[in-house]
Amino acid sequence: MTQLPGFSLKNWQNQAQQSHEELRAQAREPVQDGEAILFTDDVLSLTTAVEDISSGGAGLVLRDEVCAIRENVTLTLTIQSGHQRMTRQAVVRWVRVSGPETRLGIQYIDHICLSPDSHRLDIESVRIDPSCALRIPASIAVRRKLLPFLAMDGVVHVATGSLINAGLTNAVERLVKSPVRLWDVDKSALDKVIHEVYGNALTVKALPVAGAASNDAVDLGDKLLYAAYIRQASDIHIDPGFNGARIRFRVDGQLENYDVVKHGAYTELASRLKVMANLDIAEKRLPQDGRFSHQFVRGGRRVDIRVATLPTKYGERITMRLLALQTGALTLDRLGFIGEHQRIIESFLRRTQGMMILTGPTGSGKTTTLYAAIRMLLESRDLNVITIEDPIEYEIEGVAQCEVDPTSNKVDFAKALRSILRHDPDVVMLGEIRDQETANIAIKAALTGHMVLGTLHTNSAAATVTRLIDMGVEPYLVAAALRLAVAQRLLRRLCKHCRIPRPLTEQEALILGRANLTGARIYDPTGCVYCGNRGYAGRIGLYELLELRADWARDVAQGRGEAQLVENMREAGMHGLIDDAIDKMITGETSFHEVLQVVSSW
């Protein structure tokens, strides 16, 4: 084996211990013409390396035998395609070689990037457009490791694990019948995503193509549900009108058009969805509610789908809410709790009794925050946690979850809560405190050694006190039990890959009531392949926390209520929802346009 001048195996072994993050940072350096960069998962020795580019036999062979590369080294690269072979010199700046995968004693490299026009992409962070994925047959996508994921400005963006060159680009353009931009991705990650897109529990022919004409109600329903799932929609709206039924998805709180189906196809689709939700298909004059579950991807998340129908002039309007039952990595910091807010809520969760109420409008993420709090409790100590929900939105291992039935009088929140208190709970979570009976039972539970977590519909944290008193709870009981009230909203989170900086104008600063912020750097959305050309990717929470201190609790007990609490919070310098929104705008988490929604509605 040829050893590089000045090379030390011991030094290399020490250098090989550096973190993957550092290597990835190096990998993002721009590729200059005439250079080659080799990507793999592990840092091991490099001997002879070969990569198969396609089943056609194209390959890239490193002829120089080296033990390791940490400095600029010139290698002779032999590129072979069919019967043609050419040799060129290239400078390799750094190398990572895959570990256990060997074939006939040859260690394979995950990817060799020769083209200066190549673009590295984290395919697992990209939002896949399901209608774009079917621009190539599933069999070719799986065999050739190609995945079209977005059509934008007349260009189809395609992820590939193969060597990007003019030949591949031309072949893919012929395949999709459109100009393409190829993105270099990790092979193992691409395999996983391709499996999720094309290896779905649905048949390949049932994958969604927007605008496709289909009289098969089963096929059309499956297409619709799968498209919503892939786009990470929270709701599906099917609204019949004069010219057909318009289908829209709610993604990150915003409605997006998906398709329009003809009346005949819509009628069949409505019947299919009602059958799945166990509704009466003959009843079209009364509203109905139902549900069903579906596992879209083998080994993936199971989704609970709530279906509601409403009779309208042109037919039944159908709304479906998609609830991914697994919690994933729900943590307080991922939800937007930082700094003092995180300290306050974590301080409450170290208690053994007391009440925490989350407030906000429907769809503001209150239940998600409660689940994150429960996960934190379970990670810190062994507890008996019981929840009462309508519906169960996430499944949490180790938690007894009870679902109430609002359509009958057999199990409601108050009856379930009375029963739960006989099961020796440490923590009780109430999906919603709706009436005086439930509120009084919850307050008394918080005063008798239990931690109670619940939600209300109010506009601010201080209004929680007023709401509980209006429901019939005595002020002194509210003061004794309530320890923390959290008001929250959701704003769209800027895509970190395409946001662009600019200064805050004087007029914008005045609108926010923060003239001192004129000229501060903020960010605007643009749109890219990672966010599906939206400019936003996901949502982030805004929070206002009211920690009921002893003197403030006395004010509540004496009937001073909400107005006094607001004054106390202002004097203490506590941040409100608008303050938190502005902070997240300045840090680049969200945009001025999103913050303006909070300011305008306050």
Q: Tell me the C-alpha distance between 189 and 200, whole Å.
A: 16
Predicted confidence band of residue 269 (pLDDT cuts 50, 70, 90): very high
Contact 427, 386 (CB under 8 A): yes
CA distance 524 to 502: 7
* Predicted pLDDT of residue 297: 56
Least confident of 375-379, 414-418, 428-432, 530-534: 530-534
Rounded average pLDDT over 405-422: 83
Which of 135-139, 497-501, 561-565 has the weakest average pLDDT? 135-139
Residue type at position 12: W
Give the pLDDT of residue 481: 96
pLDDT at 484 > cutoff 50: yes
Distance of CA 480 to CAs 418, 451, 557, Å? 20, 13, 8
- Cβ atoms < 10 Å from Cβ of 423: 11
Model pLDDT, residue 83 = 45
CA–CA separation, 512 and 502 (whole Å): 17
- Average of pLDDT values for 529-535? 85
* Higher per-residue pLDDT: 244 or 331: 244
Using 50, 70 and 90 to split pLDDT, how confident is the model at 304? confident
147-198 residue pLDDT tens: 999 888 888 999 988 777 778 888 889 888 889 988 888 888 888 888 777 7
On the question of a cis peptide bond just before residue 240, with omega within 30 degrees of 0, the verdict is no
- The per-residue pLDDT for 220 is 82
What's the pLDDT score for residue 396? Answer: 86
| pLDDT tens string 81-127 | 444 444 444 444 333 333 333 322 223 333 333 333 446 788 888 88
Q: Read off the DSSP letter of residue 125.
A: G
- Looking at per-residue confidence, does 185 or 248 come out higher? 248
The SS3 assignment for 62 reads: strand
Residue 22 has pLDDT above 70, yes or no: no
pLDDT at 78: 45
Determine the pLDDT at residue 76.
45
CA-CA distances (angstroms) from residue 531 to 122, 498, 544, 579, 597? 12, 9, 28, 27, 21
Can you tell me the mean pLDDT for 224-250?
90
Dihedrals φ, ψ of 332, to 5°? -65, -40
Q: What domains can be seen in the chain, in order of their start residue? A: 9-113 (no CATH), 120-198 (3.30.300.160), 204-324 (3.30.450.90), 339-491+539-574 (3.40.50.300)
Phi/psi region, residue 199 (left: phi>0; alpha: psi -120 to 50; beta: rest), is alpha
Q: Look at residue 207 and tell me whether its pLDDT is greater than 90.
A: no
pLDDT at 69: 37
Q: pLDDT tens for residues 64-80?
A: 333 333 334 444 444 44
Higher pLDDT, 307 or 13: 307
How much is the average pLDDT of 134-151?
Answer: 84
Band of residue 327 on the pLDDT scale cut at 50, 70, 90:
low
- The per-residue pLDDT for 28 is 39
Average pLDDT, the chain: 77
Nearest-angstrom CA–CA distance, 218 and 362:
32
Closest Cα partner for 50 from 150, 208, 166, 163?
163
Mean pLDDT across 298-317: 84
Tell which wins on pLDDT, 440 or 36. Answer: 440
Identify the three-state secondary structure at position 123. helix
Q: What is the pLDDT of residues 503-528, one digit of tens each?
A: 999 999 999 999 999 999 999 999 88
More confident residue, 295 or 443: 443
- Predicted confidence (pLDDT) at residue 1 exceeds the cutoff of 70: no
pLDDT tens figures, 344-368: 999 999 999 999 999 999 889 899 9
pLDDT at position 25, please? 43
Q: Are residues 442 and 478 in contact, defined by beta-carbon separation less than 8 angstroms?
A: no
Taking 90 as the threshold, does the pLDDT of residue 380 lie above it? no
